[in-house]
Amino acid sequence: MPISVHADPADWPAPVPALARPLGRDGAEPGGRPPSLAELTTLRVGGPVGSYIEARSEAELIDAVREADTAGTPLLVIGGGSNIVGADTGFDGVVVRDARQEVTLSADDRCGGVEFTATAGTTWDDLVREAIASDWGGFAPLSGIPGTVGAAPVQNIGAYGAEVGELLASVRAWDRATGQPVQLPLARLHLSYRDSALKRSLTDADVGGGRTWGPTGRWVVLSVTFSVRAASLSAPIAYAQLAHTLGVEVGARVDARAVREAVLELRRSKGMVLDDADHDTWSAGSFFTNPILTQDAAAALPEDAPRFPVTDSTRAVAGTREAPVIEGLVKTSAAWLIDHAGFGKGFALSEAGAGTAPASLSTKHVLALTNRGEARAADLVALRDAVVAGVRERFGVSLVPEPVHVGF
């Protein structure tokens, strides 16, 4: 019999701030108007939306999606808004947010592992804190990532040598193409670096069942089931910078709470933990994915450009991080390309720099585009295009934005 589990909050490591607004039960602001995209996203740009619904049950969420699709109304299902660039003109459709925050334990065999399910609206970092407090292994490197559980498999979120695909068992989703709920096992998600079938259905008609679906894909995530080992120690530390912060060698296993604190320290140093007072966190996180190149294209880069193997996480050995290397492909660093193309920390399309420009690269690292307080979407798009053009001209590599662009 499934039970809801919520570890003693006194045992949790410090929470991560989240963007929050008081809303009525109908999802409207106190004055009665729907919130704007700027109010719903961490980049804090974007115009008005047609209507806004907060679903407090799975049935309400499905009904809202089904009604929008039946009426032909554009649909945006939103979580924490941390991976969205909203257009200044807004979004003339319905925005739906899953307000459920539920974690249900279905199996806890200390010899074999732990299985539990989290609703799509659960704040990702709240789940990480609960997992660490409950000795559910593998989550610590993913601490501090903004957003919700529902978005995690769409992006196959990852950080510091770990990806959510290593923890997933299946996704329960509403299939907009068939009008039915479905259970998608890990193999059907086709996870890869910051990608999945869920994400590809936005723009790939073959994946989308014969059509594309706009800012929300064919499958609306309802809940995510995780299957992990019971462990108070981390998996072997795979990321050199994290190992250095912890004072251990790569490959060492460390108490998961210590890993979480080290990860949060690193993320704060890069402006990657939400903080209303820090404009470097008024961003969508890493704005560009690391380019995956052919060996010939990688060979054309300067000798000191980073080069990493590309692995196929969909074929990883169960319960391990051992994934086969894909021959002929090389991953390089978007941050390195941006920096070496002449776009340093704080770069802005203004001689005044980040101090007064409406938008700039983060003053802490070059991979985030940030709102300095008064930016509009147009300012961020202009900065994005300048960086993309500059890297293409210098290195012949086209950077791909990670956030979903809504209303453009």
Can you give the pLDDT at residue 263? 97
Which residues 6+ apart lie within 8 Å of 111 measured at CB? none
Selected catalytic residue, list 54, 115, 163, 402:
402
**Average of pLDDT values for 303-309?**
93
Cα angle value 85/339/369 (rounded, 5°): 15
**Any idea which residue has 């808004």 for tokens?**
81
Selected catalytic residue, list 51, 67, 188, 194:
194
Annotated catalytic residue 166: no
- % of the chain residues with pLDDT over 70: 88
Can you give the pLDDT at residue 311? 76
Q: Which amino acid is at 88?
A: D
Can you give the pLDDT at residue 353? 56
Instruction: Tell if the pTM clears 0.85, that is, is over it.
Output: yes
Q: Integer distance in angstroms from the first to the last C-alpha of the chain?
A: 46
Confidence of residue 17 (pLDDT cuts 50, 70, 90): very low
- Return the structure tokens found at 300: 């054309």
Confidence of residue 315 (pLDDT cuts 50, 70, 90): low
Are 361 and 345 in contact by the 8 Å Cβ rule? The answer is: yes
pLDDT reading at 22 higher than 60: no
Structural domains present in the chain: 279-406 (3.90.78.10)
**Average of pLDDT values for 295-311?**
93
Selected catalytic residue, list 286, 313, 360, 362:
286
The string of pLDDT tens digits covering residues 214-249 is 899 999 999 999 999 999 999 999 889 999 999 999
What average pLDDT does the structure give for the chain? Answer: 89
Annotated catalytic residue 29: no
Residue 1 CB-density burial (10 A; 0-12 exposed, 13-18 middle, 19+ buried): exposed
Q: Which amino acid is at 123?
A: T
Annotated catalytic residue 4: no
- Closest by CA position to 298, among listed 327, 264, 320: 327
Can you give the pLDDT at residue 356? 76
